Amino acid sequence: MKYITKDILDVDDFLNLEKIKKPHDNHIHVKTVYNFKNELKISYINYIFFAKKYRLKDLPVNSRIKIADKKSFIEHYENPKKFSDFIDKFRHDNRSGFCYMCGALSAGTLDHLLPKDEYPDFSFFSKNLIPSCECNQNKKKNISSGLNPHFYQECDNELYYLDININGITNNQISYTFEIKVKKIFSNNFNELIEYHLNNHILKFSDIENYMKNQCGRILNNPIQALSIRKKITKSQLIEKVEDLYFIAKNEAGSPNRWDAVLYRGLLKRSVISYIFNEIHKQYP
Ligand SMILES: [Zn+2]
């Protein structure tokens, strides 16, 4: 999750609608959009209202848009060259970025938060378009994802953390558990929203648990190799090394919520660092 600032996307959707003139040619989708301009504006206002109240999941369907041919709105989105060129630009600019919805290390595409088939009025509404990975496609018709990163500056803070618990070693295999938890540092309403987002989007539709399981296994089973430790180090040097990895990940993503940043932050827990340090100490006493 990362806040989508005006530097990333600065579009006046109302002005864009205003600019659409009555078409004289056979662009049926433009005609429909033109005829439904006012309905679309009402939809946008509702969207912004509900998103800011932390309740986008409760957004009602605009019944008047429902009577229009939804294909026209979708077609309008799919023809961005002429009508909404910001979509192409936004898609291009974020090609190498990470998933703004779940924090995965790459985002495949620009996706609709509220699916265009259910909510055609937001097909080309900029605030409904978010660079994301498969998580957003996996949710398919589950429209209840709570967090829209266009609206929350809080997304640039640490929203979640990885809580690792080491149980011990059996048969040379480390046994541990982990849980991804909400960092409850905001207002109650926002805490509820990110909790909802974690349970109903991230944990349900993304691959985060597998990622954490693989990475924790890799690091905890063989920290010398995983962290490239080549000589004896002190505990504070180890902490510094993990902190560096955390800051690199965080700076690269421009957010502390990319999965690798969350992982490294989780390793800094006192008991985890002590375990890693002891493992390294066995090799380099
Ligand atoms: Zn994702």
User: Is it the case that residue 144 has pLDDT exceeding 90?
Assistant: no
Please report how many Cα atoms fall inside a 13 Å half-sphere around the Cα of residue 75, on the Cβ side.
12
Q: Which residues pair with 131 in a beta bridge?
A: 110
Cα(128) to centroid(ligand 1), Å: 15
pLDDT band at 181 (very low <50, low <70, confident <90, very high): very high
Tell me, what's the pLDDT at 108? 74
Cα(206) to centroid(ligand 1), Å: 6
Average pLDDT over the chain, rounded to whole? 89
Inter-CA distances, 5 with 63, 68, 160, 216, 251, Å: 31, 32, 20, 32, 16
Cα(137) to centroid(ligand 1), Å: 9
Cα(112) to centroid(ligand 1), Å: 12
Cα(91) to centroid(ligand 1), Å: 15
Higher-scoring residue by pLDDT: 237, 283: 237
Cα(77) to centroid(ligand 1), Å: 22
Inter-CA distances, 183 with 28, 48, 147, 160, Å: 49, 26, 15, 5
Q: 8-17, 45-54, 117-126, 232-241 — which one is most confidently predicted on average?
A: 232-241
Where exactly are the structural domains of the chain? 13-138, 157-283
Cα(224) to centroid(ligand 1), Å: 30
Inter-CA distances, 173 with 176, 179, 218, 264, Å: 10, 20, 12, 21
Cα(98) to centroid(ligand 1), Å: 8
Q: Which residues pair with 175 in a beta bridge?
A: 168
Cα(52) to centroid(ligand 1), Å: 22
> How far is 56 from 119, CA to CA, in rounded Å?
12
pLDDT band at 24 (very low <50, low <70, confident <90, very high): confident
